[in-house]
Structure 1
């Protein structure tokens, strides 16, 4: 008889971690230090954290997630690592405060697996999937914030157009926004199937034959808006880098171009000298404080895509902290001694 609990097994069965071996490989040099701590800033159902806890017996994991259901499933899955795993209900842009509260000093590694989780996609009633009819919710934390239905009911046409264009990169944003407003004048949009129908009718037939489900970009845009994902990521990246000790490493996996662009810029900024080009000697304080560990963005190979279709859009980037910077560990958390 297996000693695996139902909740633990549920987490394993429903979640196949993306680029798991590569994440472990990239973080290994930092996590082989005695007493190392890694922050899994997007815990989900704990697949990456489980692999790190198994591979590095001395490592402690602090797992952050805004989804209480995910925290419960991951906690059950990782219960056997008693004393080495801490679950925290928070959004990942609170990473520095979480590190201050639960670690008290810099950490050796940060892992971010961005976007919507397997749990959220698979829970029909959460409204993330355009392939199944469900309430238009899309909140990663169902206990707070406005739903997608509320966004569709209250945003002016111009704001809907902006959301679809900026967050979904939808070329038919104007037409979709106009038709959404017309549809809600007849009756509130409350179901995913209703939204899919409006989008389908808004996109020319020729454009519906390529690129997958025509509602994909609209659903992405609404999800990003509902959860403030890009704003949170823009805050989370510098905070995560700030929390790293010298020699610490960060791995970030993005699944859409808007996220990846923010990650690329944040890491490139830290890996670039801030000294004027005409200086004869580069001051120490202007030298790059990050070293890039990947050449561009790494992708899943064909074998992994075949095993786990959700790995197909992933873009992985990683960096190592090379030196401290002025105010390191004190910039966001005043009074925290480096």
Structure 2
């Protein structure tokens, strides 16, 4: 028989059930650099009386290598889609069941049954975007919607190109330009990719993730970059235009996930639920410049953001392609090509 609670005890029970709102302690976040709105962290700290510390990384591979060593002290990481899949398969993430959290109702349906976390048992969206490149149209007036800009550039752009220091982004862009499937194990295809990259490298000036500075300082005319970074560039430099290559474009989603054995597990879960609140998701987009996958967040963002050409794909632009992790045999050859390229 279930006992009846007197009103005072019932109220106490409800307060205890809402325990997360009473949370205290710490939360340690490991995220991409220049990607977190300080207002978001301040709001979370104030609401839950939790002290947040942050460290940053510059690539999924850097983060993954550190996590694999164990005992990082971090609670939360922000891996891209394919890296979430790798980390789930390797048993590195906690099954926090975001699909059972109170704010899960705000997630856009198309981002629930994703290949990297079907049903959302481990991760929630942080930011969604594409990877292509941006051009200073004051210095180059030609057609930019083709990967020829990167891999077979006109004379005006040679030596004026920055590439991301990111193996997968460069490999997949080369495959799109050549019309080769992503992660192809065919040796002839892989040789074509290698030959294209070796030929193109002398035309590139730098490999850097600091794409905004590279462009806005005038150091380069073209930079491989992400759409949100291009949006932020354009705020500082109106002549910047983001390309939508006719050969195809890379789609990605960065996700908030909790490390298995996280020291502050409950606070990490709180944070996952917190960023699925539309107003909080909007804070992330306001700072980083990308869409976020949360319904209703647009109400807290200026209309100019939603309609920005970097955020709203032009009619006729290719649909972003999300690429799952390549098979180990292909990754091995990718690594060989990449090591040679970065000599």
**TM-score computed with the length of structure 2 as normaliser:** 0.30
Higher helix share: 1
By relative contact order (CA 8 Å, sep 6+), the higher-ranking structure is 2
